[in-house]
């Protein structure tokens, strides 16, 4: 296998097939040098290897399953061919233990993406199966160096092992999902990065947690956002230095390390403040032979942004169920059942009255190239991270108000009671999922698919 190992264990594409194995491993999640937790990881590591693909190229990749469970790889946020989307039961059969599957990972859009299983995701991601995929844009970089922060939320038991006893816990599934008690960055409980005063960093942030919406405060670093979910945005400064990212979302930030240097803490502040890590800046102020480009904005991706709303297909999505949700009955595999009997089967959420599965008919079918507009209503007591495969969408309105900036998401966070209308051009043929990326909600019914024909 011809591949070059980059710093950080990254793998670069050189047009040669690459192999990634899912297998068991260990990680020091509790404390560096401390007890080793048994995990499942790509190449046995957490996170798995960083895969770099130059924009516009296609990476042939062989996935080998060395786990005891069937699995797949889904390329989150990547607009690739449907046959390689990695959804077990919809776009491919799950890869059995000892078997392999060959993917063609086409990368039309530059940006920060990630990969993870799409079979028993709620268990396989919680055990550590995920990695980052970076699609590199061509051209001069407007920063000196990049950092990658892959955040995860783990539930460990007293032995500092992954709490397996609580997999499938109905309370988690019917409430906010599986929330953890340990936060890691790049697989470690605390990160320490060094930087030079005056250095300009590009920081890629990924939330791989099953269900926890993360909120990071970058003390006095004044990050500017340049991309969300991989797609460039007009650069803007974060309000009070705080970055909110829902499960599966990514953000690319530009950080100018202050000239006076110092230690800059990064805390997670969604609950009690939790120390995620720090960037320590010291030494002489950064000097460059050639100045960096002034403009930090990223080049546009070849995404179809031309919505034709006048003749769009309109598809309403009512999000229902969960604890304190008021859903009394829903349809599971074509049979209407009350919530109590659904709960006995671990099904507590629904879209449009249907507890979702791949066996249901498509939510809608749309001719290739047509615009889809989808008013989504969160009629539940919990937030949800709504994700669409194979496309990026924009928010037309949130609770009736037009957003202040243009963003092309693959995942959007919706608070209880919120109504968000999204739209996208359905230009990628195939069967694509729409689901909540709080993985317990997905498994318990918040899932559907649509077809672009
Ligand atoms: Cu990241 Cu359908 O998932
Ligand atoms: Cu959800």
| Confidence band of 41 (pLDDT split at 50, 70, 90) | very high
- Tell me the mean pLDDT in the region 385-413: 98
Q: Is the CB of 389 under 6 A from ligand 1?
A: yes
What pLDDT, on a 0 to 100 scale, did the predictor assign at position 17? Answer: 73
Nearest to 180 by CA among 214, 212, 213, 150: 212
Ligand 1 centroid to 165 CA: how many Å?
24
Whole-model pTM over 0.85: yes
Ligand 1 centroid to 115 CA: how many Å?
8
Q: Is the CB of 196 under 6 A from ligand 1?
A: no
Question: 194 pLDDT exceeds 90?
Answer: yes
Ligand 1 centroid to 118 CA: how many Å?
7
What pLDDT, on a 0 to 100 scale, did the predictor assign at position 235? Answer: 98
Q: Left if phi > 0, otherwise alpha if psi is -120 to 50, otherwise beta: which for 198?
A: left
- Tell me the mean pLDDT in the region 41-68: 97
Q: Whose alpha carbon is nearest atom 1 of ligand 1? A: 76
Residues in the chain: 453
Tell me the CA distances in angstroms from 397 to 103, 119, 236, 305, 446, one per residue in order: 36, 33, 20, 16, 22
* C-alpha span between 97 and 436 (Å, rounded): 27
What pLDDT, on a 0 to 100 scale, did the predictor assign at position 168? Answer: 96
Ligand 1 centroid to 92 CA: how many Å?
15
The SS3 call for residue 168 is coil
pLDDT tens readout for residues 137-174: 999 999 999 999 999 999 999 999 999 999 999 999 99
Q: Which DSSP string corresponds to 18-86?
A: EEEEEEEEEE--SSTTSPPEEEEEETTBSS-PPEEEETT-EEEEEEEE-SSS-B--EEET----GGGS-
Q: Is the CB of 433 under 6 A from ligand 1?
A: yes
What pLDDT, on a 0 to 100 scale, did the predictor assign at position 298? Answer: 98
pLDDT tens readout for residues 262-277: 999 999 999 888 999 9
What pLDDT, on a 0 to 100 scale, did the predictor assign at position 15? Answer: 52
- Tell me the mean pLDDT in the region 400-422: 98
What pLDDT, on a 0 to 100 scale, did the predictor assign at position 271? Answer: 82
Kindly report the average pLDDT of the chain as a whole number.
95
What pLDDT, on a 0 to 100 scale, did the predictor assign at position 167? Answer: 98
pLDDT tens readout for residues 96-135: 999 999 999 999 999 999 999 999 999 999 999 999 999 9
Closest-lying ligand 1 atom to the alpha carbon of residue 433: 2
Question: 358 pLDDT exceeds 90?
Answer: no
Share of the chain above pLDDT 70, in %: 96
């Amino acid at each position: 296998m011809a591949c070059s190992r980059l710093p950080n264990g990254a793998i670069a594409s050189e047009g040669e097939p690459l192999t990634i194995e899912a297998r068991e491993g260990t990680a020091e999640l509790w404390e560096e040098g401390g007890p080793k937790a048994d995990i499942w990881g790509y190449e046995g590591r957490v996170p798995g290897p960083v895969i770099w693909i130059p924009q516009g190229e296609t990476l042939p990749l062989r996935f080998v399953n060395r786990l005891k469970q069937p699995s797949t790889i889904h390329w989150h946020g990547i607009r690739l061919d449907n046959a390689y989307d990695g959804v077990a039961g919809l776009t491919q059969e799950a890869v059995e233990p000892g078997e392999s599957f060959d993917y063609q990972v086409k990368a039309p859009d530059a940006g920060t993406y990630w990969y993870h299983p799409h079979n028993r995701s709620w268990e396989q991601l919680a055990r550590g199966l995920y990695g980052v995929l970076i699609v590199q844009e061509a051209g001069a970089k407007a920063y000196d160096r990049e950092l990658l922060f892959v955040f995860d939320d783990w539930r460990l038991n007293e032995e500092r092992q992954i709490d397996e006893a609580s997999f499938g816990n109905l309370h988690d599934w019917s409430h906010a999902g599986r929330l953890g008690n340990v936060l890691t960055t790049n697989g470690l409980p605390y990160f320490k990065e060094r930087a030079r005063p005056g250095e300009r960093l590009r920081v890629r942030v990924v939330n791989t947690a099953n269900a926890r919406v993360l909120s990071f405060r970058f003390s006095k670093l004044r990050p500017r956002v340049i991309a969300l979910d991989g797609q460039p945005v007009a650069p803007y400064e974060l309000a009070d230095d705080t970055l909110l990212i829902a499960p599966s979302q990514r953000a690319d930030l530009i950080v100018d390390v202050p000239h006076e240097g110092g230690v800059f803490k990064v805390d997670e502040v969604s609950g009690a403040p939790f120390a995620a890590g720090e960037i320590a800046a010291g030494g002489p102020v950064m000097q460059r032979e050639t100045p960096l480009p002034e403009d930090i904005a990223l080049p546009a991706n070849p995404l179809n942004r031309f919505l034709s709303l006048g003749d769009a297909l309109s598809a309403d999505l009512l999000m229902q169920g969960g604890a304190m949700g008021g859903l009394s009955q829903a349809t599971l595999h074509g049979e209407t059942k009350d919530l109590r009997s659904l709960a006995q089967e671990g099904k507590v959420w629904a879209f449009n009255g249907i507890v979702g599965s791949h066996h249901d008919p498509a939510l809608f079918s749309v001719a290739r190239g047509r615009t889809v507009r989808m008013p989504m209503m969160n009629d539940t007591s919990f937030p949800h991270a709504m994700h669409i495969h194979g496309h990026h969408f924009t928010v037309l309105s949130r609770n009736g108000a037009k957003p202040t900036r243009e963003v092309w998401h693959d995942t959007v966070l919706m608070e209880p009671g919120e109504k968000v209308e999204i739209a996208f051009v359905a230009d990628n043929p195939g069967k694509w999922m729409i689901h909540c990326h709080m993985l317990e909600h997905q498994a318990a019914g918040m899932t559907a698919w649509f077809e672009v024909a």
